[in-house]
Amino acid sequence: EAGVAQSPRYKIIEKRQSVAFWCNPISGHATLYWYQQILGQGPKLLIQFQNNGVVDDSQLPKDRFSAERLKGVDSTLKIQPAKLEDSAVYLCASSTRGTGTGELFFGEGSRLTVL
Amino acid sequence: GQNIDQPTEMTATEGAIVQINCTYQTSGFNGLFWYQQHAGEAPTFLSYNVLDGLEEKGRFSSFLSRSKGYSYLLLKELQMKDSASYLCAGLDSNYQLIWGAGTKLIIKP
């Protein structure tokens, strides 16, 4: 079974530029998450989708971050404009359970460096 | 507020046993997860406890006490490949995961 795919693995941009990350979850997984993980910290949930609807985006900085999950499969996370403090690894995860209680399967992450 | 506390770093010797503790405060409780994360890699699932007691899975065991808001991960017969961060996460009443900052485990020969 193919795992969660993410791209790009690494991205370096200057502040005020924009960046987009892509995620393809495990086939059949209804729930998709985007997490931000800063070095030395635990993952912070940015947004959770159930199929193509948003379940929780309370910690998403909506003035600069946006995410979509068209057709309930792939998802894109965009940052525009980026700030220095956005330097982090952006992890995409998916799970089978509708309420998100099941095991999360993570992708390898997209490491963002903002200069 | 909701909070997960775990030690920042621990050191242990190859072949030994180590216990990583986690205390949690969540709004409601629907279970406790442990994930392993090697440096530069994604977290991978280790265990899930929702009832009190010890769950054993090979060299790894996880314990939960709901009355004390406490869990631990026990690693036996430590191997060098066990060097990683171990993340504790509680599932609250809204089925949202509250993550700890992780415990970096260093294994020495």
Per-residue pLDDT reduced to its tens digit, B70-93: 999 999 999 999 999 999 999 988
Predicted local confidence at residue A98, as pLDDT? 52
Any idea which of A16-25, A99-108, B7-16, B17-26 has the lowest mean pLDDT? A99-108
Split at pLDDT 50, 70, 90, the class of B33 is very high
Find the residue in B nearest to A111 (Cα).
B40
pLDDT at B38: 95
pLDDT tens series, chain A, 115 aa: 689 999 999 999 999 999 999 999 999 898 999 999 999 899 999 999 998 899 999 999 999 999 999 888 999 999 999 999 999 999 999 998 755 566 899 999 999 999 9
DSSP state string for A42-92: --EEEEEEETTEEEE-TTS-TTTEEEE-GGGS-EEEEESS--GGG-EEEEE
pLDDT of residue A72: 83
Q: Quick one: pLDDT at residue A1?
A: 66
User: CB count, 10 Å around CB of A9?
Assistant: 11
CB-based contact B101 A40, cutoff 8 Å:
yes
Return the sign of the alpha-carbon dihedral for residues A86, A59, B71, B88: negative
Question: What's the Cα-to-Cα distance from B39 to each of A92, B55, B84, B102, B105, rounded to whole Å?
Answer: 17, 26, 6, 12, 11
The average pLDDT across B15-34 equals 95
Query: Structure tokens of B16?
Result: 């030994």
Instruction: Tell me which residues of chain A have a C-beta less than 8 Å from any C-beta of chain B.
Output: 4, 40-45, 48, 56, 91, 99-101, 103-109
> Which residue type, as a one-letter code, is found at position B1?
G
Out of B48, B94, B101, the one facing A103 most closely (by C-beta) is B48
Contact state of A106 with B102 under an 8 Å Cβ cutoff: no
| CB contact at 8 A, A47 and A57 | yes
pLDDT at B54 over 90: yes
From the number of C-beta atoms within 10 Å of its C-beta (0-12, 13-18, 19+), residue B106 rates as exposed
Cα gap B47→A67, rounded to integer Å: 30
Q: Chain B: give the shortest CA distance to residue A13, in Å.
A: 20
Quote the CA–CA distance of A47 and A37 in Å, as a whole number: 13
- pLDDT for the residue A101: 61
Q: State whether the Cα torsion B95-B98-B104-B105 is positive or negative.
A: negative
Are the C-beta atoms of residues A40 and A27 closer than 8 Å to each other?
A: no
Q: Are B24 and B98 in contact (CB under 8 A)?
A: yes
Total CB pairs under 8 A between chain A and B = 47
**Shortest distance, CA A43 to any CA of chain B (angstroms):** 6
Calculate the average pLDDT of chain B. Answer: 95
- Cα B94 vs. chain centroid, distance in angstroms? 21
Q: Is pLDDT at B95 greater than 90 in this prediction?
A: no
Asked if B89's CB is within 8 angstroms of A106's CB, the reply is no
